[in-house]
Structure formats: C-alpha cells, structure tokens
Amino acid sequence: MVATDVIQAAKVTARFRNVAERGGQVDLGFRIIVPGEMQDGHWQLRFYPSLKAGDDSLSLEPVLITGELYRKAQLRGYQHYQRFLDSIVNDSIYFINKYQLEMFLKRNIPEIYSFRSDSSLVSDEVFASAYGVTQQQAVNHYTNKFLVRRNRWKIKHKEDMFRRWVKVPIVSEGLRLDTVIRADGGDIYYDYVQTMQVKPKVRKATVTLSGEIFEEDKAIYRIPSGDPLTFYISSLSTLADATVRYKTEIIERRVEAHTACYIAFEQGKWKIKPDEGNNAQEMGRIRKNLSSLAENKEYDLDSIVVTASCSPEGSFNSNRQLSRKRSEAVSDYFEEYLKNYRDSLRRETGAVIDLSGVVSEQKDISFISRDNPENWALLDVLVGKDEVMTPAQKGEYEKLSSIKDVDIREKRLQALPCYRHLREALYPRLRTVRFDFHLHRKGMVKDTVHTTVVDTSYMNGVAAIRDRDYEKAVTLLRPYKDYNSAVAYCSLGYNASALDILEKMDRSDKVLYLLSILYSRTGREKEAVECYMKACKENPSYVHRGNLDPEISALIKEYGLNQQ
C-alpha cells in the first residue's frame, strides 16, 4: 500500500427499512458488500456492527473474512506451536540415562544389577540397608538435570510460546462468518440478520458498521463508521383502538369505615389509663384516624359506634355491664378529643366551608356505645387457627361450644387441660374495642348516583399494547373480550383466542384487517385475501399497511394484490 491508494469501504445497502415486530421480537437484516478491491489473500477483514435501540447499545457479533494466504499463515503458527507442545516430555523416565546406570551397577555392584532380572519385590528400606543407597538416590544421580530444567521451562512458558507462534488465533465462536476467500476478483455479499427483543416504547433501532483490515497481527487500515442504518419498527400495537372507554359507576351517599384496637383495662374496671399496657400506641392510632376523618374534604362524619368486647371469664350479666361501661368510657374519651380537635381546626380556619364554598355550621358527631359481653364468635376463629392446641383438644372445645348457656359453657371449659392456654393466650385477644365510622359525601343529597367514569383498567390495557407490554395487556383486557383484547392476543401469538373474539364481532375495516393476519397465520389464505381486500376497500390506508405486516405482504406477492 502507498499513500495514494484508495480502498473502497464496505457498504450497507439502504439507509432505512421498516421491520415487523412479532411476539416482542424483530429481525434486523442488512447486507454487507465487500468489493473485490478489498479482497487480498494476505488480509483478514473484520467488520464490527453495533446496535442502538432506545437507551441500550450493543456490540453485535463481528464478521470475519479471511484471505487464503492469511489463513495459511495462521495454520503454520498452529503447526509450530503443536511441534513445541509435542517436545514437552510427560514421562520422567525419559530423562534417566538407563544405559549408564546399568553399566555402573553391572561393573561395580553386581548384586544390585541382579535385580534387573529378579522379579521378587524388595522394599526401598531393604534396598537401602543392603547397599547404602536408595532407589531414588540412584535415579537422581543418573537423571539429566539439564533436560529436566529445559522441560520445566517449556511447561512454564506454554502461553508465551502460543503468543509467539500464533499471532492471530483462529476464532470459532461468536462469529457470523469466517470464510477463506481467493483473491480472484468479484464482490462478496453477506446478509446479516440480528433478532432483537423489542422493549416497550422503542420505535426504532439503528445499526452502525465499522471495521479493520489486518495483515498478520497488524491493522493496516481502519474502516470508519458509515451512516447508521435505521430500522423503523412496525407493530401490531399500532392497530389498537385508542378510543376512550367509559363505565358506569354507582356512588353511594353513605359510606362506612371500620377499625379496632386493644385498650387494656384493669380486671373488672372500665376506667381508661393511657399509660396502661400498649394503650398509648393503640389510642394514638385511633386519634390519628379521627383527625383524618375530621379534616376529610370529601366526606362528613355523622356518627361513631363504639363496641367494647369482653372475654368469657365471669358471668354473662356482669360482662354485659362491664362491656357497656367500657364502651361508654371509650366513647366519652374520644368524643372529648374529637370536640377539642374540631374546635382547634375552627380557630385556625375561622369557619367550616363545604364543597360549594358556603360557610356551614359545625354539626355534632354522635358517639353510640354498644356492648358485646362475650366475644365467642372470635374465640371460635382463634381456636380453629391455633397452632398449640392439638386436634383432640380442639374437638373437645367444639363439643362444648354447642352449649347455649354461656356461663355453663365457660365452667365446662375450665375443666379442660387446655383452659390455661385459652385464658392466657386467646382470651386477651377477645378484649377489643371496635369503631364503626358512619359518613356521607359532602354536598350529595340522593342516596345513590349513577355516573360515567373512564375505565382506567381498560385504558391501562390499551396503553400496555402501545408500549408492547403484551402480557400485561392480555391480563388487563382478557375480561372484556373485544377488539383490543384480540389485538393483545394476536400480538402474543394466541391466534385461536383472537379469532374466537373477532369472528363474533361486526366486520369493520380494522376487524377485517386483523382477521386477514390471523387467517394468513393459520393457513386460511383464501379467507385472508378476502378479508384484506374488503378492509382496503373500506379503508384505503391498509393498502400501504399490508406491506409492513409479513403475513399480508406474503399474500400481496403471491396473489398480486397490489395490482388489484
């Protein structure tokens, strides 16, 4: 090469192309053309395609085109290296001068030499005690130390010798092409196809090609990156119908909310002690709920029902009185708290304003106290889920639970071996205080209102189709069994499910076009052509669209549909 030589660079035909996405994948195909001027027997051409899709960049598998003389030089290097490997000795007996060892023994120690033809076994210890030398010492004396050192050096420097002889290793993995060519003129064409997973919202991908020309292990020319080849991804997702879907929603004027807490009382007492047990945390949670409801801008709080429950020990009548008094004590405590909190809000804002912007009077919120003397229903549930009681013990409890007189039932329970566990582990969980909050929507007069709202679940499914997240789309749209559901099924290759939906629908242009794709997939070409022609008649834009979908483009070529 001289400075005035001009080497024609590799070319990528076509600078943009439409590719169809199916099942979340696209095949990106392009052609690498190697002109005859770049074909020399001493060269290896290396092409490096790189892919960019969205924010992701990926180096694709390179393409190698190897000249005949270049490959011969590679093979010669491997031959030299193989000869080097063959010269490494693996059997240490090769380094022993057996002839000199035998002659020495024969002339000087004939008794030892006689072992040469003696098949009897003599231990090394006996050998050493009889003749004053061990077998290993005799072997070491007649071992060629130079050959040993040389052999060790070869083993140690195998990798160095590989790099010396094999300057350019023959790569057999991670390549698209490695061809021996003859420099007899003519261009080389290589069609490169890369399958890519299409991520949501990715609309296009670009491929850039660069390369190098190598002679032996030196790059003699670097092929600069050309203009990128752009692939515009056409997808079934564009067939989705983006029309907003609405649903009827019934809005109730009155709503309820519920919560419960564990407020600890002294045995047989009903006075609230905030520092008793875990009362501070539990009562703080209820205060927070009340504060949130008092400030709520959508609902007004009408009343609160407070129900205190007791455990079964003691008589039913005494538990009823205790339960009622505890409910009243809790109601009084939180009624006072809520009154003070609402007063503080009123002082801060100066007035209470409803949704219409009119100043409204602050209505009192009634606390209603109710009793639940003995919470047997909850105890039945706790016993059923308990992991300590044996099945036999649970059976005994179940038998006694049929006794209608709860005082007798409790007395019988006391005789059971598991009663201590019931009283210590389960009874405390029965002493709950339940809060039922009754509210109504501000500014609403009727008890129920039927309103139309956007079906967010459905529209999220359509958005998932647009983003090519087809599995999510199928999950969201499966219950609707409409056109968009069929698009989602079709995009995932669930042809039977898509056909089952579409064949029951009115034959609009979009339904006809999607049917033509599905019929083409399932081998029903006559029906596919018929549906496609009708779709194009109703909507001429499908004439161009058909070239983008491989199922339709194959029909267009086979039946000459463009001419029609």
Are residue 178 and residue 64 in the same domain, yes or no? Answer: yes
Are residue 57 and residue 199 in the same domain, yes or no? Answer: yes
Query: pLDDT at position 7, please?
Result: 47
Q: Using CA atoms, how far apart are residues 463 and 467, in angstroms rounded to an integer?
A: 6
Residue 394, in any domain of the structure: no
Residue 36, in any domain of the structure: yes
Query: pLDDT at position 359, please?
Result: 45
Query: pLDDT at position 362, please?
Result: 61
How many Å separate Cα 215 from the centre of its chain? 46
Mean pLDDT of the chain: 84
Query: Which pLDDT tens digit goes with each residue over 98-135?
Result: 677 677 666 666 666 666 666 556 566 665 655 566 66
Higher pLDDT, 122 or 263: 263
Angle between helices 550-559 and 509-521 (to 10 degrees): 80
Are residue 59 and residue 191 in the same domain, yes or no? Answer: yes
- Reported residue count of the chain is 564
User: pLDDT confidence of 59, banded at 50, 70, 90?
Assistant: very high
Residue 282, in any domain of the structure: yes
Are residue 269 and residue 291 in the same domain, yes or no? Answer: yes
Nearest to 23, CA basis, from 463, 493, 546, 471: 493
Are residue 468 and residue 533 in the same domain, yes or no? Answer: yes
Domain range for residue 525?
457-559
Are residue 218 and residue 353 in the same domain, yes or no? Answer: no
Highest mean pLDDT among 153-167, 184-198, 395-409, 437-451: 395-409
Two structure tokens written together for 37: 């001027």
Query: pLDDT at position 1, please?
Result: 25
Longest dimension (CA), the chain: 132
Range of lowest pLDDT (92-96, 272-276, 330-334, 453-457): 92-96
**433 in Cβ contact with 306 (< 8 Å):** yes
Query: pLDDT at position 488, please?
Result: 94
Are residue 337 and residue 357 in the same domain, yes or no? Answer: yes
CATH number assigned to the domain comprising residue 294: 3.30.1330.60
Cα atoms in the 13 Å half-sphere on the side-chain side of 131: 19
Residue 94, in any domain of the structure: no
CATH number assigned to the domain comprising residue 223: 2.60.40
Query: Which pLDDT tens digit goes with each residue over 300-336?
Result: 888 999 999 998 988 999 999 999 999 999 999 999 9
Q: Is 449 strand, coil or helix?
A: strand
